[in-house]
């Protein structure tokens, strides 16, 4: 992947300075794990056992603005393009960047599969020490979710870096969906991650790009962390997810909750332990509800920094 990113924001001149600090980002990369490609010229081609020899590219750009100390917003766009049957050229790269034009999948005029995004963060001025609201949305085949919110996947949540009267406790909760109820059944079958050309869609190495809720689902999660010290903490978490019947037969649900603790016993030794209880119901996999419990323990030893040891050796040599 190639990336261009500003280390620090900049401010535009004249009246545009009211937009506040501005940050611009751009990346260009190549995906992996795409096995099938479809074209109006050649039809469906590929194999379950052999990835495509010419994997598609993805590029994206984003601009972030902070017009007030408490409000920040960003707008971006990504494009999945080139790959099997469509060579990567400067012309094709230019088509992917400019949000104009359209063409049938796999043809020379196909600019790629575009997705537009928008996100914001707002800290309440009178409550800025303990309450932040945030949101993130993206949509397929659009420049921005603002053009049609009914056709957008959305995540929103709240973050409290400390709870009033319990300053060592922080809390975060969020809800999200990739199954907009206002657009059913038009957006069935995993619309946001579907692609007319690359059958695996908006994925990399088989993993969805963007959200844990899946191709067509709704969910919520929450977690709270109590900080015993700046390093030692105890955390509890809860998650619930529902998969639409429009994506898999009879849909499905999954719910889990857990706890995790991390303690430093010495400056070079830390121990973490976790437990999670999960229950899930997916008729397409099992006719009955299933449950499971997972536990883990991790011991980490942190030896002295090699740089610190090297400094001591150099100091001894100088003496």
| Contact between 81 and 108 (Cβ < 8 Å) | no
Q: 151 and 65, same structural domain?
A: yes
- Report, as an integer, the average pLDDT of 272-299: 96
Is the four-CA dihedral 250, 209, 224, 258 of positive or negative sign? positive
Residue 273 placed within a domain: yes
| Contact between 118 and 146 (Cβ < 8 Å) | yes
Per the structure, how many domains does the chain have?
2
* In 124-180, beta strands by DSSP E: 132-140, 153-160, 169-177
* pLDDT band per the 50, 70, 90 thresholds, residue 224: very high
Per-residue pLDDT tens digits for 167-186: 899 999 999 998 887 666 66
Q: What share of the chain has pLDDT > 90, as a percent? A: 47
Q: 243 and 210, same structural domain?
A: no
Q: For residues 70 and 123, give the distance between their C-alpha atoms in angstroms, rounded to a whole number.
A: 5
Per-residue pLDDT tens digits for 259-278: 999 999 888 899 999 999 99
Per-residue pLDDT tens digits for 184-198: 666 667 788 888 888
Residue range of the domain that includes 270: 230-319
Q: What share of the chain has pLDDT > 70, as a percent? A: 89
Q: What is the mean pLDDT of the chain?
A: 87
Residue 224 placed within a domain: no
At 210 the pLDDT is 79
- Report, as an integer, the average pLDDT of 72-87: 90
Residue 179 placed within a domain: yes
Q: 168 and 127, same structural domain?
A: yes
């Amino acid at each position: 992947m190639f990336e261009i990113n500003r280390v620090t924001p900049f401010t535009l001149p004249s009246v545009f300075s009211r937009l506040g600090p501005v940050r611009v980002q751009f990346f260009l990369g190549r995906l992996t794990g795409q096995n099938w490609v479809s074209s109006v010229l050649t039809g469906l081609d590929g194999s379950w056992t052999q990835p495509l020899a010419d994997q598609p590219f993805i590029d994206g750009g984003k601009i972030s603005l902070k017009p007030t100390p408490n409000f920040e917003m960003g707008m971006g766009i990504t494009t999945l393009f080139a790959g099997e049957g469509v060579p990567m050229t400067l012309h094709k790269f230019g088509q992917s960047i400019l949000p104009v034009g359209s063409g049938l999948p796999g043809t020379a005029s196909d600019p790629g599969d575009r997705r537009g995004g928008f996100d914001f963060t707002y800290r309440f001025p009178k409550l800025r020490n303990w309450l932040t609201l945030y949101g993130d949305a993206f949509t397929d085949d659009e420049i921005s979710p603002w053009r049609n919110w009914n056709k957008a996947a959305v995540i929103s949540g709240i973050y409290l870096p400390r709870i009033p009267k319990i300053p060592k406790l922080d809390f975060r909760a969020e809800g999200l969906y990739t199954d907009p109820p206002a657009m059913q059944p038009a957006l069935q079958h995993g619309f946001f991650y579907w692609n007319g050309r690359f059958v695996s869609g908006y994925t990399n190495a088989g993993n969805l790009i963007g959200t844990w809720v899946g191709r067509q689902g709704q969910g919520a999660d929450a977690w709270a962390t109590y900080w015993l010290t700046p390093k030692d903490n105890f955390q509890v978490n809860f998650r619930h997810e529902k998969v639409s019947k429009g994506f898999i037969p009879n849909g499905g649900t999954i719910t889990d909750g857990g706890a995790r603790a991390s303690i430093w016993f010495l400056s070079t030794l830390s121990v973490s332990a976790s437990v999670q209880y999960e229950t899930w119901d997916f008729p397409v996999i099992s006719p009955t509800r299933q449950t499971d419990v997972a536990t883990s323990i991790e011991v980490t030893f942190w030896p002295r920094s090699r740089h610190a040891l090297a400094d001591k050796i150099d100091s001894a040599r100088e003496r």
